[in-house]
């Protein structure tokens, strides 16, 4: 289902999240008929929010599903200033695929589960219920060469949102050496005006393999709290990036990045590079033995000193 900032059902949900209100009052506030209010209330009910009605005192939210379209859209619109639309799916093939097909920027695609979740380099991303799966589309006022910084700051936003998290270049988020979040960035559209899709998958309470970890193993929070925190941090970092403050973000990224200071193997489309990861260059590349590398699959081999 699709929601915008002006969707009547979302506006009513937000009013009722504050307090009980009568149909008449809601109608007056929103400038719509009582029949329209009633119709929207039924739609909200059908989407996992229990609303009771008490005679003239009117409607109130009594219970809701932990994750539902209105809660998700409220969080998304509150945190992301540039956002125009939210698509919500209980199940979908892949939010990145939906984003690509839709084609427009400033949209968020959210899924409770994915049947064909996609990981980097053609891998699968297990996406059972309980995890956080969403894609954001952006058309940032940045040059083509700066677009990869967006992926880095998305990873940084997640790492900054989770206690004890570190980054594994380019944008895996790790806790206790295990992967908690993966990011798949894709670019489409015209070369002059590309649309960037940032797909984020965070293990929250979903089942994970041995080499991965989920948020609830180290932090007692629910999925929408994680979503809220990540979007807030992303908006903050994104504003810095488009405001020309990349240098601050680069420093912050380097501090959080566990890859720096390690001997690594990076598998790139043009071959393998083994060497010391020395730092993050001004243009966002990782520096390995003095050479810049822009993308690839990175394996940590050992620390400098143990060499």
Q: Which residues bind ligand BTN (CB under 6 A)?
A: 94-96, 114, 117-120, 123, 125, 133-135, 172, 182-184, 199-201
- Select 58 or 155, whichever has its Cβ closest to ligand BTN: 155
Q: Is the dihedral of CA 227, 233, 239, 243 positive or negative?
A: negative
Between CA 122 and CA 302 the distance in angstroms is 27
- Select 68 or 137, whichever has its Cβ closest to ligand BTN: 137
Whether residue 154 contacts residue 217, with contact meaning beta carbons closer than 8 Å, is answered with no
Shortest Å distance, C-beta 130 to ligand BTN: 13
Q: Which residue is nearest to ligand BTN (CB)?
A: 182
Q: Which contacts (CB < 8 Å, 24+ apart) does range 141-144 have?
A: 141/242, 142/241, 142/242, 144/191, 144/194
Strand 85-92 to strand 107-114: parallel, antiparallel, or no bridges (unpaired)?
A: parallel
Shortest Å distance, C-beta 137 to ligand BTN: 12
Shortest Å distance, C-beta 54 to ligand BTN: 41
- Select 172 or 228, whichever has its Cβ closest to ligand BTN: 172
Shortest Å distance, C-beta 298 to ligand BTN: 11
- Select 134 or 246, whichever has its Cβ closest to ligand BTN: 134
Strand partners, 271: 268
- Closest to 201 (Cα-Cα) out of 263, 120, 278, 139: 120
Shortest Å distance, C-beta 3 to ligand BTN: 19
Residues 6+ apart with CB under 8 A from 216: 204, 205
């Amino acid at each position: 289902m699709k929601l915008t900032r002006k969707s009547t059902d979302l506006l009513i949900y937000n009013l009722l999240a504050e307090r009980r209100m009568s149909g008449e009052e809601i109608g007056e506030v929103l400038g719509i008929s009582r029949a329209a209010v009633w119709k929207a209330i039924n739609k909200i009910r059908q989407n996992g929010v229990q609303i009771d009605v008490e005679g003239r005192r009117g409607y109130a939210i009594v219970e809701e599903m932990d994750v539902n379209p209105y809660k998700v859209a409220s969080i998304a619109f509150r945190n992301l200033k540039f956002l125009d639309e939210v698509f919500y799916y209980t199940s979908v093939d892949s939010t990145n695929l939906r984003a690509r097909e839709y084609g427009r920027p400033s949209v968020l695609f959210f899924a409770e589960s994915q049947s064909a979740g996609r990981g980097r380099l053609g891998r699968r991303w297990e996406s059972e219920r309980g995890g956080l799966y969403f894609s954001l589309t952006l058309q940032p006022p940045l040059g083509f060469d700066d677009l990869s910084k967006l992926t880095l700051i998305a990873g940084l936003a997640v790492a900054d949102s989770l206690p004890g998290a570190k980054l594994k270049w380019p944008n895996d988020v790790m806790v206790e050496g295990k992967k908690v979040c993966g990011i798949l960035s894709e670019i489409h559209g015209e070369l002059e005006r590309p649309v960037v899709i940032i797909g984020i998958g965070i293990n929250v309470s979903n089942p994970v393999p041995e080499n991965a970890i989920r948020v609830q193993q180290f932090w007692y929070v629910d999925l929408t709290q994680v979503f809220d925190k990540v979007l807030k941090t992303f908006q903050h970092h994104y504003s810095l990036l488009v405001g020309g403050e990349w240098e601050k973000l680069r420093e912050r990224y380097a501090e959080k990045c566990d890859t720096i200071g390690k001997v690594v193997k990076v598998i790139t489309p043009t071959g393998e590079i083994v060497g010391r990861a020395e730092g993050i260059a001004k243009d966002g590349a990782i520096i390995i033995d003095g050479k810049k590398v822009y993308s690839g699959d990175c394996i940590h081999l050992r620390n400098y000193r143990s060499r």
